[in-house]
Amino acid sequence: MSTLFKTPAVARKLRPLNLILAAFLLSGLVLVSSTAWRPGNPVTESWQWRRANTGLPREAITLAVAAHPDNPDILWAAYYGPGGVLASRDGGQTWVEAAESLADNPVLDLLATRPAGAEAEKAKVWAATRAGLFWRDETGGQSWRPAAQTLPPVSALALAEDAGGRLYVGLDGAGLYAQLDDRAGWERLTRTEPLASAAVLSIAVSPDGRQLYLGTSGQGLFASRDGGRNWTAAFLGDYGANIAAKPGNPAVAVAALRDQVVRTQDGGQSWQTLAIPWREWTVSLLWLPDGTLNAGTARGRFYRSQDSGDSWDGGASDLPPHGVLDLAVVAELSPGSTPRLLAGSWVGLYDSDDGGQSWQKLALSAGSPNVEALLATEQALFLGARTGLYRWSSESQRWSLLPNRPPGGIVSLAADPHDPQQLYAGLVGEGVYRSQDGGQSWQALPTLRKDIPAIAVNPHEPDNLFILAAWERVYESRDGGRQWAARWEGLGEVIEAVSLVVDPWMPLVYVGTEQGLYRRRDEESWQPVAPALADQSVLALLAQPAQHSSENTVLYIGATRGVYRSLDRGDTVEGGGEGWGRGLVGISVTALLAYPAVPQRLYAGTADHGVYASGDGGQTWQAIGPADLTDGVVESMAWGPAGELFVLTTGGVWRGQVQ
């Protein structure tokens, strides 16, 4: 079943607010070609925008997959997007849209069922969506229909079925419901707190429907041995990402929590922690009819166990180095044949016909480039994506995948402002890589093997580096990345770090968090500054020298309710439309960029409102497009080799020029 919103990493990336948190901007000035456009009056400029995705593969974030219960050629895939459902009738070779009537409702889980005694072609497909539960006939002859009115009007998160054809749905904030029959509607199975108001993320059920297991969002695990009349709780306060019961012996179940995998052998009365050979989150679990337990991890690794989790094999596969968001098994072609497996991932759908030893990517007719970071240097424009590192060619007007690149997805990029040959790349789950020859070759630095969403280079001391690790903490290196030290004193226990920048004049570092702005000087602890922003997420930071001063800095701050400025290194801020920042009041600002030759000329990328420009140092702002970018988040921006403005968004890349 789908695992959207079932691990912190996935939830952070896809929830509307935390999608905004994925945006940040690194410090550093970029030199633009001498023949490039020179800015004029932002009120009179007319911008022309074009898509700049040539050379980048389309990548659909595949949240859930389902297979027909009898016909192995009929498959479905749910991808993250409005009404994102695809269907295949040739085993996954070709796909067609199958989302009529779902509108703007991302599908979080899929399940194909066939009521007892019904013909194969009478199977139904169920979709758990943001707007609730929907269904349609397998033949696709009709649009999606909402489920019975007796379900609460909330998001549906998880689906399961027992051998008798009874359907179970986990709801957001309303617990678990089970289908009585097509006419009578639905029965509530969770009537007491905390389960009655829990968000149910995962469900496992025995064939007879008596043994039930639930994983929840922050309320722990629950088990029932009497069909849902009574429940036993475990790991209260924990996050039950996924849960699976063993075929033939449903008293045995395995559950993935935030940082461990646990097992029960007595129907949920007691649980034990399993020893697993991986350290990242377990994102998906699937138990096959033959008793093989499969697990997919947040780094794209796939493992198998033949003894209910006591020992594991695997770990190396052809899956991409990103989260395995869902696992499913296809109906067997013949009894005893090796089952075909499907794996939904951050960058598409994969299948395996040898039990998970090798995987092949299936071409989905959906999605957009899964891009993460931009970096402009004097020599080149680089783009980091979940599929690797790309370079822009002005001659061919396309991106080219670098042959010698870091091994994995790239979520952040930075350069030494004094040496454009010295580049840094933050990877998905693999730490930091460095290039000393402008990107021709890369070497791993001994950092934590975590996501690195931001890197900053100290312009005063190029060997002094700062990184964000897994959106949680700041680490510092003073020797070019060979050794690292944790720098989180003063940040508190639960603050999520979002953006990072180094002061261009003083030995100061700023970090934007989900609870405002913090500042650190040399070896001191982090100190909260800018009290006016304490209740906002600081999504983007830009620090540049003040005009007519060799010591002062102007710090620009993008937050959830607009753009702000500080002239005293963060002690106080002005903005929010009160004399400064007019035009962006109430709009989440997710990226900031300055035109190097004209410091008063600023650009702001936003969530759902496109790009804004200011010609007066941020006093006033005006939207400049793109017109189609009103439902996406600007991740970062950079100047191209010919002075174009490249804008990286959650739906791909745009290139803007003044007409």
Return the C-alpha torsion angle 436, 438, 440, 445, nearest 10. 40
Return the C-alpha torsion angle 500, 505, 506, 507, nearest 10. 60
Percent residues over pLDDT 90 in the chain? 61
**Run of H or E including 349:** strand 348-352
Which of 173-182, 230-239, 632-641 has the weakest average pLDDT? 173-182
Contact 454, 462 (CB under 8 A): no
pLDDT digits over 513-556, tens only?
A: 999 999 999 888 999 999 999 999 999 999 998 876 556 899 99
pLDDT digits over 286-302, tens only?
A: 999 999 999 999 888 89
- Which amino acid makes up residue 219? Q
Instruction: Determine the pLDDT at residue 545.
Output: 86
SS3 content of the chain, % helix, strand, coil (to 5): 5, 45, 55
Instruction: Determine the pLDDT at residue 119.
Output: 55
Instruction: Determine the pLDDT at residue 279.
Output: 81
Kindly tell me if the per-residue pLDDT of 184 is higher than 50: yes
What is the 3-state secondary structure of 504-564? CCCCEEEEEECCEEEEEECCCCCEEECHHHCCCCEEEEEEEECCCCCCCEEEEEEECCEEE
Q: What does the pLDDT average to over 613-638?
A: 90
Alpha carbons 109 and 124: distance in angstroms, whole number: 14
Instruction: Determine the pLDDT at residue 387.
Output: 84
Pairing of strands 538-545, 527-529: unpaired
Contact 424, 377 (CB under 8 A): no
**pLDDT mean across residues, the chain:** 86
Ranges of each domain in the chain: 23-57+368-658, 116-122+138-324+331-362
CA 407 and chain centroid, separation: 19
**Run of H or E including 231:** none
The pair of structure tokens assigned to 520 is: 């650190």
Note the residue count of the chain.
Answer: 659
Reported confidence tier of residue 129, pLDDT bands at 50, 70, 90:
very high
Instruction: Determine the pLDDT at residue 67.
Output: 92
Dihedral sign of CA atoms 618, 623, 625, 630 in order? positive
Looking up tokens 């909260």 gives: 528
Looking up tokens 């439309």 gives: 577
Same fold, 23-57+368-658 and 116-122+138-324+331-362: yes
Alpha carbons 471 and 484: distance in angstroms, whole number: 17
The pair of structure tokens assigned to 377 is: 């240097």
Kindly tell me if the per-residue pLDDT of 14 is higher than 80: no
Contact 14, 346 (CB under 8 A): no
Instruction: Determine the pLDDT at residue 139.
Output: 60
Q: What does the pLDDT average to over 310-338?
A: 82
Kindly tell me if the per-residue pLDDT of 120 is higher than 90: no
Alpha carbons 551 and 505: distance in angstroms, whole number: 6
Kindly tell me if the per-residue pLDDT of 468 is higher than 70: yes
Closest CA to 464 of 433, 502, 506: 502
Dihedral sign of CA atoms 531, 533, 539, 544 in order? negative
Closest CA to 171 of 151, 193, 146, 186: 151
Q: Looking at beta carbons, which pairs linking 509-513 to residues 24 or more positions away fall under 8 Å?
A: 509/456, 509/466, 509/474, 510/541, 510/543, 510/555, 510/570, 511/468, 511/474, 512/24, 512/537, 512/538, 512/539, 512/540, 512/541, 512/557, 512/559, 513/537, 513/538
Instruction: Determine the pLDDT at residue 527.
Output: 95
The pair of structure tokens assigned to 509 is: 């570092």
Percent residues over pLDDT 70 in the chain? 89
Closest CA to 207 of 127, 278, 310, 287: 287
Alpha carbons 609 and 589: distance in angstroms, whole number: 9
What is the 3-state secondary structure of 418-441? CEEEEEEEEECCCCEEEECCCCCC
Pairing of strands 221-224, 212-216: antiparallel
Please tell me which of 129-133, 205-209, 385-389 the model is most confident about, judged by mean pLDDT.
205-209
Alpha carbons 614 and 600: distance in angstroms, whole number: 8
- What is 23-57+368-658's CATH number? 2.130.10.10
pLDDT digits over 557-570, tens only?
A: 999 999 999 999 99
Please tell me which of 72-86, 201-215, 268-282 the model is most confident about, judged by mean pLDDT.
201-215
User: 304 or 428: which carries more pLDDT confidence?
Assistant: 304
Instruction: Determine the pLDDT at residue 546.
Output: 80
Q: How many CB atoms lie within 10 A of CB 165?
A: 15
Q: Which fold has domain 116-122+138-324+331-362?
A: Methylamine Dehydrogenase; Chain H (2.130.10)
Kindly tell me if the per-residue pLDDT of 325 is higher than 60: yes
